[in-house]
């Protein structure tokens, strides 16, 4: 990754990036002249770290949206690379075509073998076109379902990585039953007799995100978001003004903390200072630890109990008032 | 009963009285522009006599149409929206709810109940588009989940009549999760051999289509209904071109394999009754065919 490309940084990160550049320059020139600058470097590093903490402690919801969509943010393939061994990608829904907006395959993690599925965004225009910006068609969700079914038949747990603006809204998608493909995944995932862990890593956009999001545990990375529609879409509909996205983002309560307060989340996975994109490897290590711990926890629960708990988990989601009796 | 529900009941009575004396005796068919006399429309179940377009039917009209007389018993009353997100666009969500309750006399966008169709017991949910576009938030999700659990408990067929713009934006993530909640109960029905008939009416889109509405063992649609995942406007914007003729209509969905039956409103009950008979015990239609083994 080219860390110098300024276009790929967000405005509010620039102070940290600039400070880090200064550290780099100092180290470079010191090594050329054989000077000892360790003390100064340490001091600047501490400053950068504090600056990072301060900036990230008071992020606006809209800034979280930007971080969740950060062009440098790790994608599913990055996580797969750092977390799992022996990944074998599998392709196609056996009905129409292979949808590259979703990657899926067999993998191992220590002694465990599992099925890994996630939305895949691109990093540049070319790869984003190939990945359709992480917006799946029905065949993507059907590929996911086919492989989850296989995981069930061979008693392998499932881990999903959620990072999509939403299901693709197009003519072909509607013709091939986008709604039904999503709905079927919701129904099937709710009752699959293997442990399922769902991790929102970036954008948890609407039904397209939820189609990989029904499981025993729902986790969100600290700077990920999860909502029923994009802030832009919400602004266009409710404010009739797409420019009100910031206001919409604030109202929609789409951050990980909000999701936890609403009773949807099981855990927020902390990100490295400055966000997951600052250290893909450290982020992956943390996710790996959480997956391993959670699987150990889920594996000992008898399967019927696990399924009852999963159903109850979703039955419990919702906030309303109830008066009297029916 | 809280004073709120009492007030709501009072309002309901008022609006239904008002319907007997409409300000407007004439209605223009939104499709063919034919001028229709309201008594004629009533006789025709609010279907245009000229072009067959199905105009909106009220929840009470559907209850009267679908279920055997006197068998409908409403369930799960008294569940109302709470503004968990403290949501405000041009109006507060709280105020939108209040206004919708006053306008419709309903508690939210769905009414659930138990009833019979041709003496076959069912548990049913009827959505209502006039309440915030029939959108699904926590209340709709909860009531539908409970009605489906009733089906499970009493071993009786489940019916949901949908008409909805989708998940309710003002409850964002909570609304989204109602899709998973309702679909999760449907998984149990499926496992226990309880049939689910989904009726799709105009319009059914978004999160409702992408959850229970397309998950019927049998999906039945009224003719000419708009049914889809993304709204036509969004798709048009995304693809930057015109949409094919008849795109996202009931007929389009039938052609693409997403619905089983399109039926005119006047045959709706008969068609549903006929399919229900296939699921019940031959000797006793009041019980479902027992599971094997």
Q: Do A264 and B173 touch (CB under 8 A)?
A: yes
Q: Does B153 touch chain A (CB under 8 A)?
A: no
Q: Inform me whether the pLDDT recorded for A6 exceeds 70.
A: no
**pLDDT for A230-277, tens place per residue?**
999 999 899 988 889 999 999 999 999 999 999 999 999 999 989 999
Say if residue A285 is exposed, middle or buried (CB neighbours under 10 Å; 0-12, 13-18, 19+): middle
Q: Tell which residue, A254, A231, A255, has the closest CA to residue A244.
A: A231
Instruction: Identify the pLDDT of residue B14.
Output: 45
pLDDT given for residue A218 in this prediction:
98
Domain ranges of chain B: 1-55, 56-279
CATH ID of B56-279, from 3.90.550.10, 3.90.226.10, 3.30.360.10, 3.40.50.1370: 3.90.226.10
Q: What is the pLDDT of residue B8?
A: 46
- Token pair recorded at residue A167: 């299901």
Q: Does A324 touch chain B (CB under 8 A)?
A: yes
Report d(CA B132, CA B88) in Å as an integer: 15
Q: Which two tokens stand for residue B88?
A: 């405000």
B chain contacts of residue A254, beta-carbon cutoff 8 Å = 172-173
Asked if the model's pLDDT at residue A326 lies above 80, the reply is: no
- Chains A, B: CB contacts within 8 A come to 214
pLDDT band (50, 70, 90) for residue A3: low
A19 touches chain B (CB under 8 A): no
Alpha-carbon distance of A212 to A192, in angstroms, equals: 13
Q: What is the C-alpha separation between B173 and B178, in angstroms, rounded?
A: 9
B65-122: per-residue pLDDT in tens? 999 999 999 999 999 999 999 999 889 999 999 999 999 999 999 999 999 999 999 9
Could you tell me which chain A residue has the CA closest to the CA of B242? A171
Residues near A176 by beta carbon (within 8 Å), at least 6 away in sequence: A96, A137, A138, A139, B256
pLDDT value of residue B22: 53
Q: Do B76 and A326 touch (CB under 8 A)?
A: yes
What is the distance between the alpha carbons of residues A302 and A300, in angstroms, rounded to a whole number?
A: 6
Contact A178 B230 (CB under 8 A): yes
Q: Taking residues A297-309, report their average pLDDT.
A: 98
pLDDT at A30: 87
| pLDDT of res. B1 | 43
The tens digit of pLDDT for each residue in B248-269 reads: 999 999 999 999 999 999 999 9
- Asked if the Cβ–Cβ distance from B209 to A179 is below 8 Å, we say yes
Q: What is the token pair recorded at A1?
A: 């990754």
Model pLDDT, residue A32 = 85
Token pair, residue A249, equals 């983002």
CATH 3.40.718.10 is the classification of domain A65-316: no
Q: Which residues contact A314 (CB under 8 A, 6 or more apart)?
A: A190, A214, B177, B180, B181, B184
Of residues A250, A181, A265, A280, the one with CA closest to residue B229: A181
* Contact A174/B at CB under 8 A: yes
pTM of the prediction? 0.93
Query: Which residues of chain B have a CB within 8 Å of the CB of A311?
Result: 184-185, 187-188
Distance between B58 CA and the closest CA of chain A, angstroms: 22
Whether B12 shows a pLDDT value over 50: the answer reads: no
Ordered by start, the domain boundaries in chain A are 2-58, 65-316
Q: Is B96 on the interface with A (CB under 8 A)?
A: no
Dig out the tokens for B16 from the structure.
Answer: 């239904």
Of A237, A318, A321, the CB nearest to B181: A318
* Residue A236 contacts B where some CB pair is shorter than 8 Å: no
* pLDDT at residue A227 in the model: 97
For chain A, the residue count is 326
Confidence of residue A4 (pLDDT cuts 50, 70, 90): low
Strands (E), chain A: 85-89, 102-109, 112-119, 158-164, 196-205, 217-221, 225-227, 267-269, 320-322
Buried b (16+ CB within 10 A) or exposed e, B193-216: ebbbbbbbbbbbbbbbbbbbbbbb
Q: Which residues of chain A neighbour B2 with C-beta distances below 8 Å?
A: 323-324
A253 touching chain B per CB within 8 A: yes
Specify the 3-state DSSP secondary structure of A276.
Answer: helix
The interface predicted TM-score of the complex, written ipTM, equals 0.95
pLDDT at B17: 46
**The pLDDT of residue A107 is above 90:** yes
- Specify the residue for token string 């109960």: B185
Q: Has residue A37 got a pLDDT over 90?
A: no
Assigned token pair, B25: 């005796």
Contact B173 A254 (CB under 8 A): yes
Q: What is the mean pLDDT of residues B209-219?
A: 98
φ, ψ for residue A62 (rounded to 5)?
-65, -35
Gap between the Cα atoms of B92 and B61, Å rounded: 31
Owner of token pair 């936890």: A260
Work out the average pLDDT over A202-218.
98
Q: Tell me the two tokens of residue A201.
A: 């890593």
Nearest to A320 among B77, B139, B248 (CB): B139
Nearest to B80 among A251, A317, A321 (CB): A321
CA distance B16 to B13: 5
């Amino acid at each position: 990754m080219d860390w110098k490309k300024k276009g790929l940084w967000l405005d509010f990160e620039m102070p940290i990036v600039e400070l880090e550049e200064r550290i780099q320059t100092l180290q470079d020139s010191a090594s050329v002249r054989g000077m000892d600058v360790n003390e100064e470097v340490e001091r600047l590093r501490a400053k950068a770290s504090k600056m990072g903490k301060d900036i990230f402690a008071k992020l606006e919801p809209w800034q979280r949206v930007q971080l969740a969509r950060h062009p440098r943010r790790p994608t599913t393939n990055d996580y797969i690379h750092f977390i799992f061994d022996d990944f074998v990608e599998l392709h196609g829904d056996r009905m129409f075509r292979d949808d590259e907006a979703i990657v899926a395959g067999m993998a191992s993690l220590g002694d465990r073998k599992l099925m890994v599925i996630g939305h895949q965004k691109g990093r540049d225009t070319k790869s984003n076109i190939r990945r359709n910006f992480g917006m799946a068609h029905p065949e993507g969700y059907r590929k996911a379902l086919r492989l989850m079914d296989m995981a069930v038949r061979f008693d392998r747990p499932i881990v999903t990585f959620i990072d999509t603006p939403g299901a693709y809204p197009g003519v072909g998608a509607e013709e091939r039953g986008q709604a039904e493909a999503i709905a079927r995944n919701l129904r099937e995932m709710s009752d699959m007799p293997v442990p399922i862990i769902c991790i929102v890593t970036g954008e948890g956009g609407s039904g397209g995100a939820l189609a990989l999001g029904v499981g025993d545990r729902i986790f969100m990375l600290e700077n990920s978001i999860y909502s029923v529609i994009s802030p832009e879409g919400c602004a266009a509909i409710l404010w009739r003004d797409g420019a009100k996205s910031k206001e919409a983002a604030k109202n929609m309560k789409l951050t990980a903390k909000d999701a936890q307060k609403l009773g949807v989340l099981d855990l927020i996975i902390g990100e490295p200072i400055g966000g997951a994109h600052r250290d893909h490897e450290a982020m992956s290590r943390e996710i790996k630890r959480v997956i391993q711990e959670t699987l150990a926890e889920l594996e000992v629960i008898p399967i019927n109990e696990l399924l009852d708990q999963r159903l109850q988990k979703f039955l419990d989601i919702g906030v309303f008032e109830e008066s009297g009796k029916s | 009963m809280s004073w709120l529900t009492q007030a709501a009941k009072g309002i309901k009575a008022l609006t239904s009285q008002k319907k007997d004396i409409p300000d407007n005796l004439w209605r223009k068919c939104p499709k063919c522009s034919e001028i229709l006399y309201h008594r004629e429309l009533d006789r025709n179940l609010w279907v245009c006599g000229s072009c067959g377009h199905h105009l909106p039917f009220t929840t009470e009209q559907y209850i009267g149409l679908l279920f055997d007389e006197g068998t409908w018993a409403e369930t799960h009353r008294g569940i109302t929206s709470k503004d968990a997100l403290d949501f405000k666009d041009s109006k507060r969500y709280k105020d939108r709810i209040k206004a919708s309750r006053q306008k419709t006399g309903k508690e939210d966008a769905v009414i659930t109940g138990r009833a019979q169709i041709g003496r076959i017991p069912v548990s049913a949910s009827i959505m209502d588009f006039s309440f915030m576009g029939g959108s699904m938030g926590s209340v709709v999700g909860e009531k539908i989940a409970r009605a489906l659990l009733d089906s499970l408990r009493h071993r009786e067929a489940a019916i949901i009549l949908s008409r909805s713009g989708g998940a309710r934006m003002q409850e964002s993530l909570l609304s989204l999760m109602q899709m998973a909640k309702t679909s999760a109960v449907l998984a149990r029905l499926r496992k226990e051999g309880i049939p689910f008939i989904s009726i799709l009416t105009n319009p059914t889109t978004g999160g409702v289509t992408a959850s229970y509405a397309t998950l019927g063992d049998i999906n039945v649609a009224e003719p000419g209904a708009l049914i889809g995942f993304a709204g036509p406007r969004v798709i048009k914007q995304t693809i930057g071109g015109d949409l094919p003729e008849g795109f996202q209509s009931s007929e389009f969905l039938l052609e693409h394999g997403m619905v089983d039956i399109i039926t005119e409103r006047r045959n709706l009950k008969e068609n549903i009754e006929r399919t229900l008979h296939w699921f019940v015990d031959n000797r006793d239609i009041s019980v479902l065919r027992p599971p094997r083994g």
